Amino acid sequence: MCGISGIISNANIAKKLLDSIQNLEYRGYDSCGMAILNSHGPIIRKNIGHVADVAEKELFLSMNGNTGIAHTRWATHGGVTPVNAHPHANCDGSIAVVHNGIISNYVKLREMLTKKRHTFLSETDSEVIPHLIEEYRKGGMPLESAFVAALKDIEGSYAVAMVAYEKPWKIFCGKHESPLIIGLGKNENYIGSDFNAFIEFTKEAVVMDDGEYAIVSNEGYAVKKIVNGAPVLKKVMHVEWDAEMSKKGGFPHYMLKEIYEQPETVKKALSISDASIQMLAQNVVSAERTYLTGVGTTFYAAQLGQYYFASEAGINVPAVSSDEFLENSAMAKGDFVLAVSQSGETYDTLRVLREAKNRKIRTAAIVNVIGSTMARLVDDVVMQGSGPEICVISTKAALAQVIILIRTALEAGVITGKLRVSEKKQKIKQLEALPQQISDFLNEHSGFVHNLAERQAHHHNWLFLGRGKYYPIALEAALKVKEVAYLHAEGMPAGFLKHGTIALIDDNLRSLVFIPSEKEEALYKMTMSAVEEINARGGKVIGIHSSKTFAKSKLLADQLLLPPAPPLVMPLMALVASQLFSYFLATTLDRNVDKPRALAKSVTVA
């Protein structure tokens, strides 16, 4: 995915346009560029690298003008090169375009345009857009019609913005399956892939829907339908997030800041109305089958949800990774699909929900980003209210999602009769104690976690093992370490180890084991078998556990002692500890914590 933005103002926009793509950088950051109109037409400057570096190299701040668009890229078609960076222009340089998404028929369009003597400079799919518009203009079409005609020609997904020499006081934009939002300011207006593009400048926004295009000036905007040009009346939204929430606030990285925000995010997730949770629970219980889905971290959140539905409500609610969902699950009418997504824009998860809609299956989603495609697509949405998560690595949003799923499982437990109301209340109390426990842990134990990471960061191969609810925690913890520390970490059920992977155990492989408290006797004993098996083969175990007596055990080569907590919330403490561990591994290894290589915050492509 990529980030696009645009500003039109009666003042010079260079600085604000740069800020806007800087705030979108988590959507992709291999290259970037800006196009600002001056009296000769759009001036395009772009290059590879992070926004701050390119801005310096290409002197973004020396640009000058009132109308402009910008882009920060996560490459899909064409390598990371200066020419593949956006904006792209037409042959005579009078039109500049930025695009987020994938144009599936670009090869055919490019061939057609090449025959008509258009010259392409890049390998991107996006470059066909300015040339298509130019082609329609040559045929005598007015600019607006030419823009719309080009949108009609392209297949796939897009959010597109254009500026052109002949209409210096307008930004044209349109969307299909990639997000696009208009921000409304005073004597200036904005467009962006999400609110972060203009959150510093305004809180008033209009969310565009698929099949719409807009013409934005510094004084207003008009939204119309691509299919027939009919005007669309849009609701103006007030965005609760404020610019401060998107800043680092004294923390060296967003990742650390967001880990430390978790007591607040848990409180927010606990303050979601009972009615919303009951609605989800009712849907889960009354459906023929319920599927949980998400991908990456949100799949692991969903998987953890599956364990809680089993333990708290006694029902089987499979979690299926959304990238594989349609191929391995036979959802049918009467089923219920509950998706989990921080961004609400992830292609794989949207694909499942769109297909569910086609099959007339009820859908709901737990989503963080207000106005996102998923939030608007599903029958029921629960907004998790975690605030902006800027680090590409998801931490606070994932924990909030798990809290919401646990609340839903508890509610479902009451409906199925597995839990008495009093038991549910007691468990909710345990959840309510979590923010303080996390806060204490972060304040008192982060030094230990830091030291542990420093001692262990030179090991390049890891197994992360857990049983029961600690299995999805192990998977998520391993994903974090891969994403942010670039170390090989394989998450696995501790019971699965003996069925093959145990052959890898030697002095070089580190095994991080999530050990439940002795109170969960069966789980504890089974996890300990794995610890013994590893030791018996000369392997080294790093334990994450909460037992003071066990802390002296010779079976552990190193350890992280968690404060005690009830079994319901202990896996969540382990999750927070593992987030912090991956953070400190990454800082010890001098990784780019907030923008790890090759990743993007939400992946809006197949």
Q: Which residues bind ligand G6P (CB under 6 A)?
A: 295-298, 341-343, 346, 349, 392, 394, 599, 601-603
Query: Minimum distance from CB of 1 to ligand G6P (Å)?
Result: 9
**Structure token pair of residue 330:** 């036979």
Q: Which residue is nearest to ligand G6P (CB)?
A: 296
Are the C-beta atoms of 89 and 96 separated by less than 8 Å?
yes
Give the Cβ contact number of residue 460 at 10 Å: 13
Beta-strand runs (E) in 167-228: 171-176, 181-184, 188-192, 204-207, 212-216, 221-225
365, 374, 345, 391: which is closest to 101 by C-alpha? 345
DSSP 498: G
Query: Minimum distance from CB of 401 to ligand G6P (Å)?
Result: 8
Query: Minimum distance from CB of 134 to ligand G6P (Å)?
Result: 35
Instruction: Output the DSSP codes for 39-103.
Output: TTEEEEEEEES-HHHHHHHTTGGG---SEEEEEEE--SSS-S-TTTSSPEE-TTS-EEEEEEEEE
467, 582, 465: which is closest to 512 by C-alpha? 465
Are the C-beta atoms of 65 and 103 separated by less than 8 Å?
no
223 versus 366: smaller Cβ distance to ligand G6P: 366
**Structure token pair of residue 310:** 């089993």
38 versus 592: smaller Cβ distance to ligand G6P: 592
Query: Among residues 175, 480, 540, 601, which one is catalytic?
Result: 601
Query: Minimum distance from CB of 114 to ligand G6P (Å)?
Result: 35
Query: Minimum distance from CB of 372 to ligand G6P (Å)?
Result: 9
Helices (H), 229-273: 254-260, 262-270
DSSP 315: -
**Structure token pair of residue 69:** 């668009």
| CA dist., res. 299 & res. 304, Å (int) | 9
3 versus 41: smaller Cβ distance to ligand G6P: 3
Query: Minimum distance from CB of 581 to ligand G6P (Å)?
Result: 17
**Structure token pair of residue 148:** 């719309």
In sequence order, what are the residues at sequence separation of 6 or more whose Cβ sits closer than 8 angstroms to the Cβ of residue 105? 153, 154, 155, 156
281 versus 392: smaller Cβ distance to ligand G6P: 392
Are the C-beta atoms of 178 and 192 separated by less than 8 Å?
no
51-76 core/surface letters (b: 16 or more CB in 10 A; e: else): beebbeebebeebebbbbbbbbbbbb
34 versus 392: smaller Cβ distance to ligand G6P: 392
Query: Minimum distance from CB of 411 to ligand G6P (Å)?
Result: 23
299 versus 550: smaller Cβ distance to ligand G6P: 299
50 versus 234: smaller Cβ distance to ligand G6P: 50
Question: Does the annotation count 2 as an active-site position?
Answer: yes
Torsion of CA 191, 107, 120, 70, to 10 degrees: 10
126 versus 321: smaller Cβ distance to ligand G6P: 321
69, 121, 131: which is closest to 100 by C-alpha? 69
Query: Minimum distance from CB of 469 to ligand G6P (Å)?
Result: 19
Peptide bond into 82 cis (omega under 30): no
Query: Minimum distance from CB of 323 to ligand G6P (Å)?
Result: 10
Residues in the chain: 606
Per the rule left: phi > 0, alpha: psi between -120 and 50, beta: everything else, 550 is alpha
128 versus 350: smaller Cβ distance to ligand G6P: 350
Question: Does the annotation count 391 as an active-site position?
Answer: no
Query: Among residues 2, 32, 173, 391, which one is catalytic?
Result: 2
Catalytic (active-site) positions: 2, 601
